[in-house]
Amino acid sequence: MNKDRLVFTVSDVNFDLFAKRLVMDSVPDFTWTDADGAAALEANLASTTVGGYSFNFWGSTPTPIFTQTGYRFFKSSNTTNVGSPLAAKDSPALFEPTGAAFRLRSLVRVDNTELLLNGQGFRLQFAGKGDGTCEAPSGGDPADYTDVTGATIIAFNDDAPADNDALTANIEDPTDGALTIVNQTYEEVNNATNTVAAIPVNQAGKWDFSLKDNGMKPGTAYCFRLIKDKGALLNTYKFYPQIVLKSTVSINEVYPSSTTAAGDWVEFYNNTTSTSPLVGWKLYYVENTIDLGGTENTVWTGQAGDKINAMSTFTVTPSLNLNGAQSYHLKLRDNAGLLVNQVQWPVLSESQSFARITDGHPSLFEIDPTPTKNYANHITTEAIKINEVAYGALGVEFVEIYNTSAISTQTLGNYALRNSTASAGGLTFKFTRKIYPQNYTVIDFSSISDDGKSYADIFGPPGLASAGDFLALENSTGSTVDNVTWQSGTYYTRYNYKAQQVSADNPAPADSATSIGRRPNEGDDTGNDNSDFASTASTTIASQNNGAGTAVANTLKYPVNTAAPQFLARKFPITIILGEASKSGGSAGGADNLVFTRTGGDADLRSPHIYRLGDIGFNLDSLSEQTTVQTGFSFNDQDGYPLVSSTTYKIILNTDTGTKSAPQINPASATYEDAVHTVTASTSAPLRINDATRSGAIKLDISNNSPAGFNNVELCTTTFKALKSDLTAMLTSEAKNLFDAIMLVRDSTSAGTYGIYEPAIDVSTIAHIPLADISLDAAGLSTFTVLSPDLLSASIPAASTRTFYAVFETTKNASTQSPNVFRVRFDPASVVIRDSPSDLVQDFTASAEVTTDSITIIAPAKAPPGTAWPYVLPGTAAVVAMVDYYTYGGDTVPKISSTVYLPCTDGYLRAVLSSGTLKWEYKTVPLSPIRTSPLIRLEGDDIYLYFANDNGDVYKLRDDETSAALIWTKALGVIIKSNIMDISVSTVVYFGADDKKVYCLAKADGAACSGWTNASAITAAISGAMSIDDRDTINLGWIGLEDGKVVALKTADGTSPTDFLTGGAIKSSPYLDAKVADTNNVLFFTSSDGKLYARVSSNLSNTPAGWTDYDTASPIYTSPFMDFISAKKYFFFGNDAGNVHKVSTNGVSEAGWPFKADKAVRSSPAWVPGSFVGIAEDYVYFGCDDGYIYGIDAATGKHRDGWPVATGGAVRTDLSIDTDYRTLTVGSADGKVYLLNIGP
């Protein structure tokens, strides 16, 4: 029944009956044809069908579909059985030219419907393959397929059995996968019929043809096919059996690539088992193709004694220089002048030969970039096999090589791989690898050859061609020890004797979506690529192809089995759980390994790396979780090479039970980094600390030296020693008298000054020893234990440094204890850091052990009694500019309480009473940080305040005691950090801004001063305040710029008569020595170039007599402050080196100075005469980045008792001195404003 068609009977308007056929060609297409011979079946019907039509099926008997499939050649046995095989299943046979008999057993698969008993006869045909293929022979003898008879050159052979006897099955018979084979008959004449049994659907019949050499030509390939007994072809031919009568002598390899005749050579090969004399034989060189022919130039003649031994080579040197750059040919004739063999080479490059793919191969050649003069082209005795090939996209390609030996470890020294592209380009991929018994090595897309070439350099930018290519594996002599060819369509990579690319014999599958691998066992090699290789269900790199993935699955816990980015530290764990015990614990036959294949990052000349699990510490009989620790730079693979730092690898886990392997774990990817981290310790405590404060005694810097984005490291533990001033160990009881707690604190990266311990800001405590737990051993040693190293506070991100402090919190009466002095010793080598996320302890380089100087605990100066100072600002607000104050002296007007005015970074100006409580606060609109000091002026009966903010708004407020009243605001739209200045009796104010301008505004209404200009000398933003001398004979102001310039301006119109350029930005304010009104008064100013300058104020190009610029060698951001009372005047200023200098007006440092603070000094020192505050000594006060407010003797530089006073953050603002109240006031980065007593 044909299910693809319908036959309709129809009648037309003339009552004639017709038949039509409707055939479905393809869904949904149909074809109409006549089924009636285009004539009416019957004319003038007596009656018509109702509706005018009818239809019916015409039945058809289903027929079998035949496919010629497997075959095998055997020696004849003169029985219904066969002798030994002549070749592998489905493989061409090489036959000695002896006229001998042989057998061909061939299969025909039956599909669609059963072949009934005696249902079909078949005829055996043969053809000379010639230059074509078995499917389409060309130029052979016979040229077309011809029935085999008793008289043809391949003839039926009359053996003892009778024709059509039932054959006897043999264990070596051909097969067709798992199909059932139905044995049929022995045949010595055509036809062959299934006379023994019917052949069911999806089974194959097998016939045994008895044949003989009846004039076959040496070196010729013959193809066989079966056809139906009436001459029709079978439906499909999967295989064509081939047999080749060996040439007695063939041209085996030609090297025509030398520049001289002496360098060229031609190698013959004796294909037979007997010696062949060569005397009188001649080799001819024809400078043309075989097809076109030409003059035969004799280039060699065999001499007496020349002979070629059985299965051996004989090499001759032609007398003429052969031209490898042209496709010419050679002819070999015997001593009778008969043509024995001829070979035409393709265009070759220097150092290339044209060689048979195996010695004496009957039909196939290749371009060989490693000629094998006097060596075998191909040897079969080595145990090394190409076992699996992935030829897809370049980034997944690999070649797996297998050692079939069960006992010998092989070192493949100077071996090489090549494909068609490499061979044509004269290249090979040279490599050296170790390969254990019944185990693997791999070359893949990431590999680099021994001579420094990449995989793509050798095999071509796309890599192996999936549609058709080959791989040859060569030993150190250049002989091929194994090869595989895959092919689809006309993607040919092999050559024939005419240098034409032709189909290979029985190629392996092409276009596999995964890989092709040997079957049915690892390394099996019958010589038939189609039988030996099959497409794999999935790649099995460095693992068995057969039984792949059928064992119980393993678990890879670390590195994590994920394609997401992950990183392996210098030391990293490997954690696995085996699903089944291994076959052999890593010895012969056990493919239990980890494979690291480079996929990115730095180059790795030895990728991929294969590690046998047993070699790296795993017990392959244990099914429990196992972890081994590896150090990547010494983590040597089976070839002795480690991983490479900053290289990304794909990680594959394989295990093998012998007959099956676990599912391959292969998505894991990780980048290895062998960074050695750095741990550095330094002392950070001032020599004096206060009662009831926290001070950082040791600064610990931990640098994660891995590249950015890699793993964090985590601080786990460290130790320290608490010592007395004489370096003897402190007792636990003594430590408890001094400290309420000892802690390890991380420096804040989001607030404060990084690198300086600030108690109010650096609050992330990662290890804490409370009073009750303080315990020192006999050496004064104690340990910080970080309870949660995984927390961010204990982590150091890659490519960064994090700072930690050993912090000692003193008791409220520590200064009264004996001893009240201590020292701390810290050895960075005691630190323990680990990798996150593996939690494995890592290596680091430690700095030297450090010991602090003696640290004395003092009772600090206090705020006036009965006050609430320090004043705590709300939220994250801070004061970063000098505060100012008004002190009520009992006058009738203005009756305003003594007040400190605080410019705050949250955009508020706050008025705080002298008691330390808030009086009022004024909100700027819009809110914008205030970084300028308020200017306070008594105008009439009221107190007015002038200030500006980052939004560029200038304000004038009036203090109404309970609130502030806005008088005016001036919007300039530019950041203002320069303090507003005036002369108290003047009607205008001056200040600089970030827009490279100095402004002059009227106090009355904020209007711009009439006639004021913007001087061209102002060339940069301005941070410092203007120093003004508005006396009639002077009328100048001076201001510093951030480009290092000091500019003089006329106070009347803003024009600049003079300026001077320093070597660094100026962010301080000049100081004018102006006791008398003199145009030659000296202007003193500092610069971030580290110098104190003095210049004549009226002409800044002039240096005062006797003055030398004073160089501190460290940036200066503080303004100079002069002792204007002493007989000899001095300037005080600080720099970033933490030094406070005392320098005379002729530029000479006072003896015993500078004073050394612990950190940078950016708070301008304020000199306070003792007589102003009711004491005998003059003192200099300043803030420091170490969080302390210092008071030092202006004469000696010694600490004042009770000083320094600790705050919770860096103190960078200038101090405000109130000599009436005998206090100083200053803001700290801890968000507080401190008011301290400086009187008696």
pLDDT of residue 546 exceeding 60, the answer is yes
Which residues contact residue 53 at a Cβ distance below 8 angstroms, ignoring those fewer than 6 apart? 8, 9, 10, 11
* 433 DSSP β-pair partners: 412
The two three-digit tokens of residue 958, written as one number: 């009036």
Q: What are phi and psi of 746, to 5 degrees?
A: -90, 140
The boundaries of the domain holding residue 1137 are: 1112-1240
Same domain for 96 and 44: no
Q: What is the DSSP string of 943-977?
A: EEEEEE-TTSEEEEEEE-SSSEEEEEEEE--S---
Residues 636 and 692 in one domain: no
CB 661 within 8 A of CB 541: no
Q: How far apart, in whole angstroms, are the C-alpha atoms of residue 813 and residue 820?
A: 10
Please state the φ and ψ torsions of residue 404, each to the nearest 5 degrees.
-75, -15
**Mean pLDDT, to the nearest integer, of 861-877?**
96
Residue 1140 lies in a domain: yes
pLDDT of residue 685: 82
Provide mean pLDDT across the span 455-467.
97
Let me know: does 910 contact 901? Beta carbons within 8 Å.
Answer: yes
Return the beta strands (E) in 47-172 as ranges.
53-56, 65-75, 93-95, 101-111, 121-128, 146-147, 154-156
Mean pLDDT of the chain: 93
Query: For 492-517, how does the pLDDT look when each residue is reduced to its tens digit (9 = 90+)?
Result: 999 999 999 999 989 999 999 999 99
Instruction: Answer yes or no: is pLDDT of 786 > 90.
Output: yes
Average pLDDT of span 525-546: 94
726 and 808, same structural domain?
A: yes
Pairing type for strands 65-75 and 236-237 reads: parallel
Q: Report whether the peptide linkage leading into residue 770 is cis, meaning its omega lies within 30 degrees of zero.
A: no
Look at residues 680, 672, 671, 674 and name the one whose alpha carbon lies nearest to residue 698.
Answer: 680
Q: Which of 196, 222, 245 is the last residue of a domain?
A: 245
Decide if 1085 contacts 1107 (C-beta within 8 A).
no
Q: Evaluate whether residue 869 is within a structural domain.
A: no
- Name residue 410's beta-bridge partners: 435
> Residues for the chain: how many in total?
1240
Q: Are 745 and 753 in contact (CB under 8 A)?
A: no
How confident is the model at residue 28, as a pLDDT? 46
Q: Are residues 645 and 717 in the same domain?
A: no
For residue 785, the model assigns a pLDDT of 98
Model confidence over 996-1035: pLDDT tens digits? 999 999 999 999 999 999 999 999 999 999 999 999 889 9
Report strand pairing: 146-147 vs 236-237: unpaired
CA 534/CA 379 separation, integer angstroms: 23
State the Cα–Cα distance between residues 533 and 88, nearest whole angstrom: 13
Whether residue 148 is contained in a domain is answered as yes
Residue 30 in this model has a pLDDT that exceeds 70: no
User: Does 98 share its domain with 240?
Assistant: yes
Print burial letters for 221-246: b (CB count within 10 Å at least 16), e (below 16): bbbbbbbeeeeeebeebebbbbbbbb
Asked whether residue 97 carries a pLDDT value surpassing 70, the answer given is no
* Overall number of domains in the chain: 7
412 in a structural domain: yes
Determine how β-strand 609-612 pairs with β-strand 410-418.
unpaired
Distance CA 806, CA 637 (A): 43
Q: Are residues 294 and 333 in the same domain?
A: yes
Contact 127, 144 (CB under 8 A): yes
| Residue range 387-403, pLDDT digits in tens | 999 999 999 999 999 99
- Mean pLDDT confidence for 1088-1094: 98
Cα distance between residue 536 and residue 517, in whole Å: 6
Same domain, 439 and 505: yes
Q: What is the model's pLDDT at position 561?
A: 86
What are the pLDDT digits (tens) for 804-830?
A: 999 999 999 999 999 999 999 999 999
Which among 507, 622, 538 has a CA at the least distance from the CA of 576? 622
Q: Which two tokens stand for residue 1097?
A: 């104020």
**Is a pLDDT exceeding 80 seen at residue 227?**
yes
Give the Cα separation of 66 and 581 in Å (integer). 47
CB contact burial 160-192 (16+ within 10 A = b; e otherwise): ebeebbebeebeebbbbeeeebbbbbbbbebbb
Lowest mean pLDDT among 60-64, 489-493, 634-638, 899-903: 60-64
Instruction: State which amino acid sits at residue 682.
Output: S
> Do 506 and 578 reside in the same domain of the chain?
no
Phi, psi of 1172 (to 5 degrees): -75, -25
pLDDT value at residue 40: 58
Closest to 386 (Cα-Cα) out of 297, 516, 271, 218: 516
Residue 774: pLDDT over 60: yes
Which residues are 21's β-sheet partners?
Answer: 7, 33
Same domain, 648 and 681: no
Give the span between the Cα atoms of 686 and 699, in whole angstroms: 12
Q: For the residues 642-671, what does the mean pLDDT come to?
A: 92
Q: For the chain, how big is the Rg over CA atoms in Å?
A: 50
Indicate the pTM of the whole model: 0.76
pLDDT band per the 50, 70, 90 thresholds, residue 58: very low
Per-residue confidence (pLDDT) for residue 1195, from 0 to 100: 95
Does residue 803 form part of some domain?
A: yes
Q: Is residue 1011 part of a domain?
A: no
Inside any domain, residue 231: yes
- Per-residue pLDDT, averaged over 733-739, amounts to 98
- The pLDDT assigned to 7 comes to 64
Integer Cα distance of 558 and 711 in angstroms:
14
On the question of pLDDT at 1113 being above 50, the answer is: yes
pLDDT at 219 over 50: yes
Report yes or no on 940 lying in a domain.
no
Among 615, 642, 672, the domain boundary falls at 672
**935-945 burial code (b ≥16 CB/10 A, e <16):** bbbeeeeebbb
Q: What is the pLDDT of residues 1040-1056, one digit of tens each?
A: 999 999 999 999 999 99
Where residue 42 falls among pLDDT bands split at 50, 70, 90? low
CATH number at residue 311: 2.60.40.1260
Residues 1204 and 1182 sit within 8 Å (Cβ to Cβ): no
672, 687, 721: which is the final residue of a domain?
672
Residue range 567-581: mean pLDDT, rounded: 95
Residues 751 and 799 in one domain: yes
Task: Looking at the structure, tell me whether residues 415 and 519 fall in a common domain.
Answer: yes
Q: Looking at this protein, which amino acid is placed at residue 292?
A: L
Tell whether 466 and 609 lie within a shared domain.
no
